[in-house]
């Protein structure tokens, strides 16, 4: 479905963020993990069209989308949930859900999306997506928007950040249900063991390149087990994993 061929990305001041990243996404769940600053979010933005790669090609269902705009990619079926959701003065939750769904969503439909992400719909449908919402609430609304789109490829950038662990299991169920409905691929950037645990494929991105790639059974033991190997990447991950267990 999605194929990245030798993707490189440099900033305007010639700082190399990604180099020679090749990756295919055909599976149900693909998890991208790795240390902070390794290039994961940049990769997601390159897929969504927010950043144009400085080298390489991107294919989506065999079509070259390397030079396609954000809008055109969205209309082809790529969705992207921001790591830090955007606030809008005046626009309400139901407005954004309607824009995401591409039609006027009824209150019932809007409520369904919101209930999926654990928000009591009645309290939120008419809320403005402004500074009055907490980071966790915004994050859930961001996920609800991707649900409303129901597209072929959904990219989530650290969806768990800001979401309390009490409802964490629900978040995983959201992804599972989403797959059942769309049969599309879901690419999740995450540091959470529980999310890595549902992945069919795990990609470790480090220093702007792919460090490891393979099935969950191949990769997960390696990254969890190498926490004491002195790798900055894995100790960060291990800390987070420990945090969850504690």
Partner 1 sequence: MLDAIEKNLLKEVAELDSLPVGAYNIRANGQLDGRHTTANIDIVTKTDKPGIDIYIKPGTKNESVHIPVIISKAGLKDLVYNDFHIGEGADVTIIAGCGIHNCGGDSEHDGIHTFYLAKNAKLRYVEKHYGEGDATSKRVMNPTTIVHLEEGAQMEMETTQIAGIDDTIRKTSGDLAAGASLVVREKIMTTGEQNAVTDFVVDMNGEGSSANIISRSVAKDHSRQEFISRINGNCACAGHSECDAIIMDDACVLASPQLTANSVDASLIHEAAIGKIAGEQLIKLMTLGLTEQQAEEQIVNGFLK
User: Under the rule (CB under 8 A), what is the footprint of partner 1?
Assistant: 48, 50, 69-71, 74-75, 79-80, 82, 85-86, 88-92, 95-96, 99-100, 102, 145, 149
The conformation of residue 158, written as its DSSP 8-state character, comes to S
Min. distance of Cβ 71 from partner 1 in angstroms? 5
Min. distance of Cβ 180 from partner 1 in angstroms? 22
- For partner 1, give the closer residue by CB, 66 or 235: 66
- For partner 1, give the closer residue by CB, 79 or 190: 79
- For partner 1, give the closer residue by CB, 74 or 171: 74
Q: Which bin fits 199, alpha (ψ -120 to 50), beta or left (φ > 0)? A: beta
Min. distance of Cβ 106 from partner 1 in angstroms? 18
Whole-number Å distance between alpha carbons of 25 and 189: 13
Min. distance of Cβ 216 from partner 1 in angstroms? 28
Min. distance of Cβ 141 from partner 1 in angstroms? 11
Whole-number Å distance between alpha carbons of 64 and 94: 34
- For partner 1, give the closer residue by CB, 1 or 50: 50
Whole-number Å distance between alpha carbons of 30 and 184: 11
Whole-number Å distance between alpha carbons of 37 and 129: 28
Whole-number Å distance between alpha carbons of 188 and 220: 15
By C-alpha distance, which of 86, 60, 62, 85 is closest to 74?
60
Tokens of 51: 């950043």
- For partner 1, give the closer residue by CB, 19 or 45: 45
């Amino acid at each position: 479905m999605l194929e990245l061929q030798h993707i490189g990305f440099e900033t305007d001041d010639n700082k190399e963020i990604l180099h020679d990243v090749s990756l295919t996404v055909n599976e149900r769940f693909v998890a991208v993990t790795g240390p902070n600053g390794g290039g994961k979010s940049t990769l997601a933005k390159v897929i969504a069209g927010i950043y144009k790669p400085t080298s390489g090609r991107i294919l989506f269902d065999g079509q070259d989308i390397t030079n396609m705009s954000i809008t055109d990619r969205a209309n082809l079926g790529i969705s992207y949930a921001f790591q830090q959701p955007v606030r809008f003065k005046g626009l309400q939750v139901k407005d954004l859900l309607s824009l995401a769904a591409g039609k006027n969503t009824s209150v019932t439909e809007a409520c369904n999306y919101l209930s999926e992400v654990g928000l009591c719909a009645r309290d939120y449908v008419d809320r403005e997506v402004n500074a009055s919402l907490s980071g966790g609430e915004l994050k859930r609304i961001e996920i609800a928007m991707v649900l409303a789109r129901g597209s072929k490829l959904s990219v989530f950038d650290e969806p768990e950040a800001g979401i309390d662990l009490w409802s964490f299991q629900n978040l995983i169920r959201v992804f599972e249900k989403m797959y059942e409905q769309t049969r599309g691929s879901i690419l999740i950037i995450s540091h959470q063991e529980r999310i890595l645990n549902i992945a069919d494929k795990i990609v470790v991105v480090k220093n702007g390149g792919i460090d490891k790639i393979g099935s969950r059974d191949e990769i997960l033991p390696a990254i969890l087990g190498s926490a004491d190997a002195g790798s900055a990447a894995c100790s960060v991950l291990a800390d987070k994993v420990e945090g969850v267990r504690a």
